[in-house]
Amino acid sequence: MIKVENLDVVYGAKDKSNHVVRGVSFAVSRGETLGIVGESGCGKSTVLRSLAGLEGAWTGSISFDGKPVGKVRTREELKLAQMVFQDPYGSLHPRHRIGTALAEPIRSMGGGDGWARVAEALQQVGLPAHFASRFPHELSGGQRQRVAIARALILSPPILLLDEPTSALDVSIQAEVLNLLADQREDRNLTFILVSHDLSVISHMCDRVLVMQNGVFVDELSREDLQAGVTHASYSRELFEASFL
């Protein structure tokens, strides 16, 4: 479903350049959930933003569903992958009502005014339809993240890119959001890439985990490895021990 080869991201000019992602390659098959774990600044979010099309400075090749995509995406390419952001307070426009926020993707894609799909989209993420007339500041963090998920799913993308979707939420809310994501994955046969620093969230959600450090993958762990606590690199060992005190 997703194939990435030799992805390189370099910021800045020649003499002060910052090599954030160093030639990473990976593939994700349909319906699979890939986790990328690492610490702040390791380049995991940059990989995700390059996949989404928000990053312009990458080289290498990215293809969705067998079709290579470029740095500037067409509408059809954008419909293949949508993203859920970390901060539920920053990812919804403060002056747009929830209904507008959900209808905007459809309108931007030229699919009419989009109102007809709003109630259904809200119900799918477990929110009542009358939330459509509310503003984001009238919702809790967990409810906002549900809206953000509904917005990402409203264009029915086969791929969802998740950038720390629960790290700003309380543990009990995190459980609800993770369950929602797992349900949607099952209903729609979605392919996820989940980026997080939290190994327990990653291991709960993912079939396969890539451990990232300084722009490269240092380890790959399967679900069985995570359960048994097996690691293949010293860094992932360290990360593993620190995560579960």
Partner 1 sequence: MSNIVQDDAIIRPPAIGTRIWNSTSRILHKLADEPLGMMGFIILAILVVVAIFAPLIAPYDPAAQTLSDALQPPSFAHLAGTDEFGRDIFSRLVHGTRITIQTVLSVSVIVGPIGLVIGVVAGFFGGRTDAILMRATDIVLSFPSLILALAFAAALGAGLGTAIVAISLTAWPPIARLARAEALVVRNADYVAAARLYGASPLRILLLYIAPMCIPSVIVRLTLNMAGIILTAASLGFLGLGAQPPLPEWGAMISSGRKFMLDYWWVAVMPGVAILLTSLAFNIAGDTLRDLLDPRHARS
Partner 2 sequence: MPDLDETPVLSVRDLNVRFGRNSIPAVSNVSFDVGRERIGIVGESGSGKSTTGRAIMRLLPQRAAVTAERMDFLGSPLLEKTERQMGGLRGKDIALIMQDPRYSLNPVLTIGKQVAEAAKLHLGVRGKDAVARARDMLARVRINDPDRVLSLYPHQISGGMGQRVMIAMMLLARPKLVIADEPTSALDVSVRKDVLMLLDELVRENNSGLILISHDIRMVAAFCERILVMYSGRVVETLSRLEDAAHPYTRGLIAAMPDPKHPVRRLKVLDRKSIEVETNP
In the complex, the residues that contact partner 1 under the rule CB under 8 A are: 52-54, 75, 78-79, 82-83, 85-87, 90-95, 97, 99-100, 104-105, 108-109, 115-116, 118-120, 129-130, 132-133, 148, 151-152, 155
CB of 245 to partner 1, least distance (A): 31
Asked if 34 and 207 count as a contact pair (C-beta separation under 8 A), the reply is yes
Which residue carries 């979010």 as its tokens? 45
What is the C-alpha to C-alpha distance for residues 199 and 237, in angstroms, rounded to an integer?
12
What is the C-alpha to C-alpha distance for residues 157 and 62, in angstroms, rounded to an integer?
17
Partner that binds at residue 70, options partner 1, partner 2, none, CB closer than 5 to 8 Å by kind: none
Residue 222, interface with partner 2 (CB under 8 A)? no
CB of 110 to partner 1, least distance (A): 8
In DSSP terms, which residues pair with 192 in a beta bridge?
33, 160
CB of 242 to partner 1, least distance (A): 28
Asked if 1 and 30 count as a contact pair (C-beta separation under 8 A), the reply is yes
Residue 39, interface with partner 2 (CB under 8 A)? yes
Partner that binds at residue 172, options partner 2, partner 1, none, CB closer than 5 to 8 Å by kind: partner 2
Asked if 125 and 140 count as a contact pair (C-beta separation under 8 A), the reply is no
SS3 202: helix
Closest to partner 2 by CB, 92 vs 168, is 168
User: Which secondary-structure segment (H or E) carries 240?
Assistant: helix 234-243
What is the C-alpha to C-alpha distance for residues 237 and 213, in angstroms, rounded to an integer?
13
Partner that binds at residue 182, options partner 1, partner 2, none, CB closer than 5 to 8 Å by kind: partner 2
Closest to partner 1 by CB, 154 vs 180, is 154
Residue 138, interface with partner 2 (CB under 8 A)? no
Partner that binds at residue 223, options partner 2, partner 1, none, CB closer than 5 to 8 Å by kind: partner 2
What is the C-alpha to C-alpha distance for residues 233 and 235, in angstroms, rounded to an integer?
5
Query: Greatest CA separation found in the chain?
Result: 55
- What residues line the site for partner 2 (CB under 8 A)? 39-40, 170-176, 178-179, 182, 197-201, 203-205, 223, 226-227, 229, 238-239, 241-245
